[in-house]
Amino acid sequence: MMKPAIPPNLDDPALYLNRELAFLAFDWRVLELAQDASVPLLERVRFLAISCANLDEFYEIRVAGLRQRIALTPTDASLLSQLDAIRGATHELMDAQYRCLTQELLPALTATGLQVLRAGEIPAATLDWLGDHFSHEVEPVLSPLALDPARPFPRIQNKSLNFVVRLNGTDGFGRDTQLAVVQVPRSLPRVIRLPDSARPAGSGHATRNSSPTESFILLSTVVERFVDRLFPGVTVEGCWQFRVTRDSDLFVDEDEVEDLRRAVEGELAQRRYGDAVRLEAAHDCPEAITDMLLQQFALTRADLHRVEGPVNLNRLTGLIDLVDRAGLTYPAFTPGLPHRLQEDDADPFAAIREKDILVHHPYQSFSVVVDFVRAAARDPAVLAIKQTLYRAGSDSAIVQALVDAARNGKDVTVVIELMARFDEAANIALATLLQEAGAHVMYGVVGYKTHAKLLMVVRRENGRLRRYCHVGTGNYHARTARTYTDYGLLTDDEAIGADLHALFLQLTGLTRVPTLRRLLHSPFTLHSTLLAKIEREAANARDGRPARVVAKMNALVEKQVIRALYTASQAGVQIDLVIRGVCVLRPGLPGISDNIRVRAVLGRFLEHSRVWWFANGSPDGPPSDPQTEHSRRDDSGELYLSSADWMDRNFFRRIEVAAPVLRPTHRGRILSDLSAYLADNTHAWEMQTDGSYCRRSPADGEAPFTAQSVLLMRYAQQ
């Protein structure tokens, strides 16, 4: 008699990938777009810059946090091993970034007629103009700092451009001078466009694209070439750029502070000078000097990255802003508008009363949301507006509408998150603006970031109050709404309105946990309900009923959810996950995750929407044909939009919301959109069992299919 199979141990660490290395795998996918010759050239430059910015933040937050844990437990071999693995992986990634720049992008730019001059390529005519430019536009804001006992090594700001200069000679006071540091302020543009008179000889001819050559030079190249002018009477023997990345995570003990805003403001002043976590230096910088720099920043040689090019590739976006040529960037489009809001005098309240409105940004305009708040601000029937703000930007049309509403006598309450990483200063400024206008400004719940995207307008109609609500997957940020994919639902559903009312009472009045009719929310019901829905799919599969999960999000990290997905896969549930960034689940493990498929979709827009569909016994779901008309009706399963990824912080340390999509035509639209993501065979990467990713390409006889291009055609005005 055969013994029953022993169920696998789902707590086995081997079933889960390392989160940090999973992030680096995501950044490799971004870099692949920079290497993709089918992507418009300046967009490739942008993707390279994004990959650099991603890596910067990875060091500022994730590596910095890991080093702090090592400092507390320096003998923890697992942490030390993890740091070594990260160092090796990031060295490989950065080497690939600079190869992409020097071997692919710069030659391609030159062939297109966009010449970026390097240090050894500056002809005499250009040199004269650059010398004048340096004297009048650059030198006046530079302050060279010679190093001696009276002037120790200066404080170096996080991610700033600096040069270490080796000198030979005696200064005006008779002292020997050996080293100096030149710090370059952020106010100076990093990319300089050369005027026609300063272009290299012969560069004005038409190129293969029938456009005359344009010439540019990086500020770092200019400073390095003319740095000797800062040290008259002393010989400059060498000049090398360097940049230090620092710990940028804010630490505020929210249980101890009496005024959270003042505490955050105090921490912001110190962010630029946190502990160093990485040093980048010119590839030819002498070892004696890099050793001196490492000592100054308390780093080791393993923390040093030698680069052949500018130390901050993110600054290359300045080139994109200086060039205006067709075909080098993605073609422009006009975001679409829902049919009932296309007229200039459309009444958003009447349109919402007729039917709920679903918008899909950036394919459909964020102006729908802005106009909704503006209409509420000036409508005499509106009594109150309540909203959460996580990221809104420094010049926000939404915030201005809220200011106008407060000045018009509306009761305006805004829950603004002060601890939104890297947006703290902007949010403090917005809070001040709102308070000065008379709005009630709250900073959420101590210990829990308010990440939910909620907006409620209370209006008096026919002698009774009616609530109009917006629930979204993305921030109330007009600029990112042009580049991030997100859904927003506008509704006057009474149950959702009552739920939002209860949530705002909890956020502002710190009431007991409300009982919600429609919405799921963290840190209370969202995690447990999600687990229950996954477990229900597993039970349905065991009973022979249709069982499937399709979920789209930015990250999957939380172990209990992953264990539930493994268990559901073992029961026969078909699971499709579209995860842009970090995923520590391992698909395709025999007997554990055979029925789980994970893919990432990247492209022109940053995939940001969180959408979850559970079959709940229904045989339907995302249509097999991705070209299915998006206006179809669908009553199958359960469909949710959410502000939350499947991460520990979203479930347990944040205020998050998931909202059901109830209208059949909206459900059909979203399921058709999901079908497009699952069918993408040009900008999709399939995750392998070992955590690596393989980019999809059309099979023989298969037509190329790009989800974002299809969604542009569905929703936007071309």
Distance CA 172, CA 174 (A): 6
* Comma-separated ranges of CATH 3.30.870.10 domains in the chain: 339-517, 521-715
- pLDDT the model gives residue 273: 80
Whether 451 is catalytic: yes
- pLDDT the model gives residue 512: 82
Of 550, 646, 634, the C-alpha closest to 598 is 550
Torsion, CA 303, CA 308, CA 311, CA 317, rounded to 10: -140
pLDDT digit string (tens) for 638-667? 999 999 999 999 999 999 999 999 999 999
Reported confidence tier of residue 469, pLDDT bands at 50, 70, 90: very high
In this prediction, residues 263-285 reach a mean pLDDT of 80
| N residues, the chain | 718
Reported confidence tier of residue 718, pLDDT bands at 50, 70, 90: very low
* Comma-separated ranges of CATH 3.30.1840.10 domains in the chain: 14-322
User: DSSP letters of 420-441?
Assistant: -TT-HHHHHHHHHHHHHHT-EE
50, two tokens: 């994004």
pLDDT digit string (tens) for 14-37? 999 999 999 999 999 999 999 999
Q: Give strand pairing partners of 685.
A: 600, 695
Burial class, 110, CB count within 10 angstroms (exposed 0-12 / middle 13-18 / buried 19+): middle
- pLDDT the model gives residue 149: 64
Is there a contact between 214 and 204 (Cβ–Cβ < 8 Å)?
A: no
- In CATH, what class is 521-715? alpha beta
User: DSSP letters of 31-62?
Assistant: HHHHT-TTS-HHHHHHHHHHHHHHHHHIIIII
pLDDT digit string (tens) for 287-301? 999 999 999 999 999
- pLDDT the model gives residue 6: 61
Mean pLDDT lowest for which of 198-202, 280-284, 459-463?
198-202
Burial class, 367, CB count within 10 angstroms (exposed 0-12 / middle 13-18 / buried 19+): middle
Q: Which residues have CB under 8 Å from 406's CB, separation 6+?
A: 412, 434, 437, 438, 439
CA atoms within 13 A on the CB side of 416: 28
Burial class, 608, CB count within 10 angstroms (exposed 0-12 / middle 13-18 / buried 19+): buried
In this prediction, residues 195-218 reach a mean pLDDT of 70
- pLDDT the model gives residue 656: 97
Torsion, CA 684, CA 712, CA 401, CA 434, rounded to 10: 10
Of 267, 311, 319, 268, the C-alpha closest to 293 is 311
3-state secondary structure (DSSP) of residue 544 = coil
- pLDDT the model gives residue 259: 59
- pLDDT the model gives residue 629: 60
- pLDDT the model gives residue 421: 77
Distances (CA, A) of 186 to 158, 244, 315, 395, 569: 11, 14, 11, 21, 52
- Percent of the chain's residues with pLDDT above 70: 92
Which residue stretches of 659-706 are H helix? 664-679
Which of 305, 451, 608, 683 is catalytic? The answer is: 451
- pLDDT the model gives residue 1: 41
Residue 266 predicted with pLDDT over 70: no
Cα-atom radius of gyration of the chain, to the nearest Å? 28
Distances (CA, A) of 212 to 3, 109, 111, 118, 130: 78, 13, 11, 19, 21
Residue 146 predicted with pLDDT over 90: no
Residue 210 predicted with pLDDT over 60: no
Greatest mean pLDDT among 190-199, 389-398, 554-563 lies in: 554-563
Whole-number average pLDDT of the chain: 91
Residue 2 predicted with pLDDT over 50: no
In this prediction, residues 409-428 reach a mean pLDDT of 87
pLDDT digit string (tens) for 702-713? 999 999 999 999
Residue 255 predicted with pLDDT over 60: no
- In CATH, what class is 14-322? alpha beta
pLDDT digit string (tens) for 174-201? 666 689 999 999 999 999 999 987 777 6
Distance CA 274, CA 157 (A): 9
Question: What is this structure's pTM?
Answer: 0.92
pLDDT digit string (tens) for 109-130? 999 999 999 888 888 888 999 9
Which residue stretches of 547-663 are H helix? 559-571, 648-652
Distance CA 282, CA 224 (A): 11
3-state secondary structure (DSSP) of residue 228 = helix
pLDDT digit string (tens) for 343-387? 888 899 999 999 999 999 999 999 999 999 999 999 999 999 999
Distance CA 525, CA 61 (A): 29
Triad 702, 708, 709: Cα angle to 5°: 65
In this prediction, residues 84-91 reach a mean pLDDT of 96
Distance CA 585, CA 565 (A): 9
Backbone angles phi, psi at 146, to 5 degrees: -70, 145
In this structure, whether the domain defined by 339-517 belongs to CATH 3.20.20.10 is answered with no
- Residue 364 neighbours by CB distance under 10 Å: 24
